[in-house]
Amino acid sequence: MSSVTFKSITKRFGSNEVLHDVGLQIADKEFLVLVGPSGCGKSTLLRMLAGLEETSEGEIHIGEKLVNHLPPRDREIAMVFQDYALYPHMTVAENMSFGLRLKGIAPDEVDRRVLKAANILQIEPLLKRTPRQLSGGQRQRVAIGRAIVREPKVFPFDEPLSNLDAKLREEMRIEIAKLHQKLATTIIYVTHDQVEAMTLATRIAVVNAGRIQQVGTPTDVFGRPENMFVAGFIGSPTMNFIEGVLLRENGVLRFKTEGVDVPVLGGTGAEPLGPATFGVRPEAISIERGGAGGDGVVAAEVEVVELLGYRKNVHLKVAGAKVLASVSAAFGGEPGEKVGLRFDPAGVHLFEKGTGRRIR
Amino acid sequence: MTERGARTAGLLTSQAILKAHHRREALKTALVHGALILACAVCVYPLLRILAVSLRPGDRIISTDLSIIPQGATMVSYARVFAETHFLFWLWNSLVITVATSLVGVALASTAAYAFSRFKFPGQRLGLSLLLGTQMLPAGMLILPLFLMIMRLKLMNTYLGMVIAYSVSSLPFSIWILKGYFDTIPRSLEEAALVDGTSVFGAFYRIVLPLSTPALAIAFLFNFTQAWNEYLVARVILTDSYKYTWTLGLFDLQGQYLTQWGMFAAASLLVTIPVMAVFLYSSKWLLTGMTLGGVKG
C-alpha cells in the first residue's frame, strides 16, 4: 500500500486550463474523497493519477515513485470506472483475472485471488456469467472485484455508484466502507454526491473550477467550511445564505439586514466589519410559532412545508430572503403562518462579501 | 337511448374501429410480403435460368424451353468444365487471391480505422474525407494508375500484385465501416484494459477487435466479394492463363464464333459455391449487440 502526492498539478486541454496548481497529499491507507460539481476537474485529476490523461505541469508520486512518465500498467493501481467498463466478451471470472493473466501470474494463484475477491464481494455464483447477465449492482461488484484481485497500491474509484439507483447506492456505499476496513488500502474516490463523501471519507477534498477549496475531515468540512462554496456544497439540505452587514453594537457583534438583526455569538473580536454573508444550516434553525419575540429572533412567514417522514423541510420568507429550515416532523405550522426563527450559534457561519472567505 | 344501450353502442363502435385497424394491418402485411416475394423472384429467376442452361444436353442449348429441369437433363457440361478447362486452377487462384486480399484488407483497415477513431492527429478529418472521395471515382479510372504501380513494383502476373491492387481498392470502404463501429465501443473498456496491464495495441487486440466481430465480418465479406467477382483489374495484371482467376477463365469460354454456353453456365454456378459457403459461415459473426452489458447503457 502507498501514499499519493500531487505536486502543483496543472492540466490543460488545448488552451483551456481545467486544473490550476493543485497540491494534495494522501496518506497510506487513507480514504480520500474528491468531491465537487460536474466539470470541476476531479475526475481529470483521478485519470491523471491512473495515467489515462497526461499531466501538463506538476508531479504525481505514488509512494516515493514519480509516475508522470509511466504508462497505466506500471503504476500499480487498479481503477474502478463509473460505467463499470467490464469486458462484455469475457465471463466474470475472466474479467477479474484479466490483469493477473496479463502479468503472467500462475493459474493456481489467479484462481485463488479471484475466489478470494469473489468471496469478499459475494459474487461467487456469478463467476461464469457474462456482464450482460448481471444487474447494475452485480456489475459494480465485479468491477470492484477486478480491482481487488490485482492487490494494487492505490484504488482510484471514479464515481462508482452514480449509475445505481438510490437503494443500491446506499447498499454499495456500506460495502465499499467495509471493503476499506477489510483491505486497509489507499482509496481515492471521486464523487459529486456529498452524502457519499461525508459517509465514506477519512478526509474530503472539495474541488471547484479546477481548484481545491478545502481539505479536511468530514466534520471539519461540514462544521468549519473555509468558503461559501464549501459551505453551500457540503450538507443536505444546503446552507442558507443571507446578504447583510456585520457591525458591532455595544461591544456585541451583530449581523443586520432588512428584517434580520441577530447577535453573532462566539466571535474572536477580530472579525472585519462591513458587508458580509450570513450562513446558517437548515438544521440549526428552530421555529417558534406565534411570531417573533426577543433578541435574535427573526420574523418569518411559512411558504411551503414538505414532509420527509421523520423531518419536515419548511420554506420560509424572511423580508426579502428565502430560508429553508429542517425541523422535526411534529412541527404543525401551515403556509401563511407568521413565525419566529432562532439560530443555533453552532450552525451559524459568516463569510466575506465578494471573496466568500470564512470570517467566523 | 338507455345507459345500457349507449354503452353497447360505444362497445360496437370500438369493435368496428379495431376490426378496421386489423384489416388495414393485414392488407399492409400482405402488400409488404407480396413486394418481398416479387423481389426474391427477380433475384432468383436468372439463377434458375442459368441452372436450366447448365443442365441442357448439347443439342438443346439454344432451346426456348423455359422449364427449369430441361428434358434430357444432364451433368455433361459440369464434367466438361473440369475435363476441358483449367477450371480448378482458376478456382484455386481466385481463392488464394481473395482470401489473402480479405485478410490483408481487414488487417490494414482495422488498424487504420482504430487510429481514425481513437487518436487526434493533423489531417484526420481530411484523411477520412479523401478516403470517402476515392469511392466516388469510377473503377475504370483507377486501372491505369494501378497498372503502372503494379508494373513498377515488378508484380505483374503475381498473386501479390493482385492482392495489393484489390486490397487498396477495398480499403476506404472497410475503414469507414470499421471506424463507425469502433466509435460505438466505449473508450472506458480500453482504459480499463490499459490499467489492467495491456499496451495500447494490446487493448485494441484483446478488447476492441473481439468486440467488433460483426463489423470485421462485414469488412471481410465486402473484401471477399469484391475480389472474388473482380474482372477488370485481373484482366490487366494477369496474362498467364495458369494464373487466371475464374472471371478471366470464364470469359475465355466465349469464343469469336462459338460460346460454350452449357459449360459457361455450369462454371458460373460452381463459382458461387465458395462465396456462398463464406457467407453462410460468416453469418454467425454478424451478431449485433456484442458490447451489451459491458458498460452502463
Instruction: Find, in chain B, the residue whose alpha carbon is nearest to that of A75.
Output: B195
pLDDT for the residue A56: 95
A89/B210 Cβ within 8 A: yes
A132/B296 Cβ within 8 A: no
3-state secondary structure chain A: CCCEEEEEEEEEECCEEEEEEEEEEECCCCEEEEECCCCCCHHHHHHHHHCCCCCCEEEEEECCEECCCCCHHHCCECCECCCCCCCCCCCHHHHHHHHHHHHCCCHHHHHHHHHHHHHHHCCHHHCCCCHHHCCHHHHHHHHHHHHHCCCCCEEEEECCCCCCCHHHHHHHHHHHHHHHHHHCCEEEEEECCHHHHHHHCCEEEEEECCEEEEEECHHHHHHCCCEHHHHHHCCCCCCEEEEEEEEEECCEEEEEECCEEEECCCCCCCCCCEEEEEEECHHHEEEEECCCCCCCCEEEEEEEEEECCCEEEEEEEECCEEEEEEEECCCCCCCCCEEEEEECHHHEEEEECCCCEECC
A83/B195 Cβ within 8 A: no
Q: Give the strand pairing for A31-35 and A186-191.
A: parallel
Chain B nearest CA to A115, separation (Å)? 18
C-alpha distance across the termini of chain A, in Å:
39
Selected residue of A52, A70, A87 to mutate for chain B interface (largest B Cβ count, 10 A): A87
Instruction: Measure the CA–CA gap between A253 and B216, rounded to whole angstroms.
Output: 75
B196/A73 Cβ within 8 A: yes
* ipTM (interface predicted TM): 0.85
Instruction: Find, in chain A, the residue whose alpha carbon is nearest to that of B291.
Output: A88
Mean pLDDT of chain A: 91
Nearest to B258 by CA among B119, B75, B99, B58: B58
pLDDT for the residue B287: 60
A130/B210 Cβ within 8 A: no
Instruction: Find, in chain A, the residue whose alpha carbon is nearest to that of B197.
Output: A73
Give contacts of B294 with chain A, Cβ < 8 Å: 84-88, 131-132
Sign of the C-alpha dihedral computed for residues A189, A190, A196 and A199 taken in this order: positive
Confidence class for position B256, pLDDT limits 50, 70, 90: low
Residues of chain B contacting A, Cβ within 8 Å: 186, 188-189, 191-199, 202, 207, 210-211, 290-296
B199/A103 Cβ within 8 A: no
Chain B nearest CA to A198, separation (Å)? 25
Instruction: Measure the CA–CA gap between B210 and B59, rounded to whole angstroms.
Output: 55
B195/A87 Cβ within 8 A: no
B211/A83 Cβ within 8 A: no
- Nearest CB to A99 within list B191, B196, B294: B196
Confidence class for position B294, pLDDT limits 50, 70, 90: low
A52/B194 Cβ within 8 A: yes
Instruction: Measure the CA–CA gap between A260 and A318, rounded to whole angstroms.
Output: 8
Give contacts of A79 with chain B, Cβ < 8 Å: 191-192, 195
Chain B nearest CA to A111, separation (Å)? 17
A86/B295 Cβ within 8 A: yes
A163/B186 Cβ within 8 A: no
pLDDT for the residue A351: 93
B296/A146 Cβ within 8 A: no
A134/B296 Cβ within 8 A: no
Selected residue of B184, B196, B290 to mutate for chain A interface (largest A Cβ count, 10 A): B196
Selected residue of A81, A94, A100, A141 to mutate for chain B interface (largest B Cβ count, 10 A): A81
A-to-B residue pairs, Cβ atoms closer than 8 angstroms: 88
Instruction: Measure the CA–CA gap between B192 and B208, rounded to whole angstroms.
Output: 12
Mean pLDDT of chain B: 88
Per-residue pLDDT of chain A (360 residues), as tens digits, is: 589 999 999 999 989 999 999 999 999 999 999 999 999 999 999 999 999 999 999 999 999 999 999 999 999 999 999 999 999 999 999 999 999 999 999 999 999 999 999 998 889 999 999 999 999 889 999 999 999 999 898 999 999 988 888 888 888 888 899 889 888 889 999 999 888 999 999 999 999 999 999 999 999 999 999 999 999 999 989 999 999 999 888 888 889 888 888 888 766 767 778 899 999 999 999 999 876 677 778 999 999 999 999 899 999 999 878 999 999 999 998 999 999 999 988 888 999 988 889 987
A52/B196 Cβ within 8 A: no
Confidence class for position B285, pLDDT limits 50, 70, 90: confident
pLDDT for the residue B60: 72
B196/A98 Cβ within 8 A: yes
pLDDT for the residue A112: 95
Give contacts of A131 with chain B, Cβ < 8 Å: 293-294
Instruction: Find, in chain B, the residue whose alpha carbon is nearest to that of A138.
Output: B293
With beta carbons less than 8 A apart as the criterion, state whether B89 and B242 touch: yes
Nearest to B107 by CA among B202, B223, B200: B223
Selected residue of A48, A89, A140 to mutate for chain B interface (largest B Cβ count, 10 A): A89
Q: Which residues contact A110 (CB under 8 A, 6 or more apart)?
A: A97, A100, A101, A149
With beta carbons less than 8 A apart as the criterion, state whether B73 and B79 touch: no
Q: pLDDT digit string (tens) for B70-123?
A: 888 889 999 999 998 889 999 999 999 999 999 999 999 999 999 999 998 999
Residue B292 has pLDDT above 50, yes or no: no
Instruction: Measure the CA–CA gap between A34 and A157, rounded to whole angstroms.
Output: 10
B244-265 burial code (b ≥16 CB/10 A, e <16)? bbbbbbbeebeeeeeebbbbbb
A50/B195 Cβ within 8 A: yes
- Nearest CB to B211 within list A88, A103, A139: A88
Q: pLDDT digit string (tens) for A68-88?
A: 999 999 999 999 999 999 999
Instruction: Find, in chain B, the residue whose alpha carbon is nearest to that of A91.
Output: B294
Give contacts of A88 with chain B, Cβ < 8 Å: 189, 211, 290-294
pLDDT for the residue B2: 66
Residues of chain A contacting B, Cβ within 8 Å: 50-52, 71-73, 77-79, 81-89, 98-99, 102-103, 130-134, 136, 139, 146, 150, 163
pTM of the model: 0.81
* β-bridge mates for residue A350, sequence order: A278
Amino acid letter, B115: A
Instruction: Find, in chain A, the residue whose alpha carbon is nearest to that of B208.
Output: A87
pLDDT for the residue B13: 82
Summarize the confidence of residues B33-58 as an average pLDDT: 92
Chain A nearest CA to B129, separation (Å)? 24
